[in-house]
């Protein structure tokens, strides 16, 4: 099931205070960027934040109080932080995304594609 544009817009609005937020559609799902770094995926209208040590500290204990658990955004993927009820808390979300982005490296520059023969 592909994610809805309205859900992507909502998530981007919730995390806008974290930095420069952008997204890219891929295969019906979305990759979210903060300050040029991949910080999250949106799959099946669910937000999956890339795991980092600081993100884990900010989230606290997994599963406690129904907060955040780790889950695969798609079959075969590494586990990400699955954000559910916390998504409605703009300040908490922006803080998590900002801290996660700070802990992640910038993507490696892409090599130019060679012409096809």
- Check residue 44 and give its pLDDT: 95
Please give, one letter per residue, the 3-state secondary structure of 19-74: CCEEEEEECCEEEEEECCEEEEEEECCEEEECCCHHHHHHHCCCCHHHCEEEECCC
Predicted pLDDT at 80: 96
**In order along the chain (117 residues), what is the average pLDDT of each group of 10 residues?**
91 97 92 96 96 89 62 94 91 95 87 70
Say what the pLDDT of residue 58 is. Answer: 86
Q: What is the pLDDT of residue 18?
A: 97
CB atoms inside a 10 Å sphere around CB 95: 16
Q: 97 and 46 in contact (C-beta within 8 Å)?
A: no
What pLDDT was estimated at residue 65?
56
Residue tagged 């889950």 (tokens):
71
Identify the pLDDT of residue 73.
94
Q: Which of 103, 105, 107 is nearest to 53 (CA)?
A: 103
Domains of the chain, earliest start first: 5-102 (3.30.1460.30)
């Amino acid at each position: 099931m592909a994610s809805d544009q309205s859900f992507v817009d909502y998530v981007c609005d919730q995390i806008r205070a974290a930095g420069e937020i952008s997204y890219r559609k891929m295969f019906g799902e979305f990759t979210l960027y903060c300050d040029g770094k991949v910080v999250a995926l949106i799959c099946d209208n669910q937000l999956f934040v890339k795991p980092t040590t600081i993100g884990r500290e900010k989230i606290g204990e997994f599963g406690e109080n129904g907060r955040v658990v780790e889950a695969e955004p798609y079959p075969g993927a590494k586990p990400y932080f699955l954000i559910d009820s916390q998504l409605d808390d703009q300040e908490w979300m922006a803080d998590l995304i900002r801290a996660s982005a700070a802990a992640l490296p910038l993507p490696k520059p892409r090599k130019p594609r060679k012409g096809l023969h």
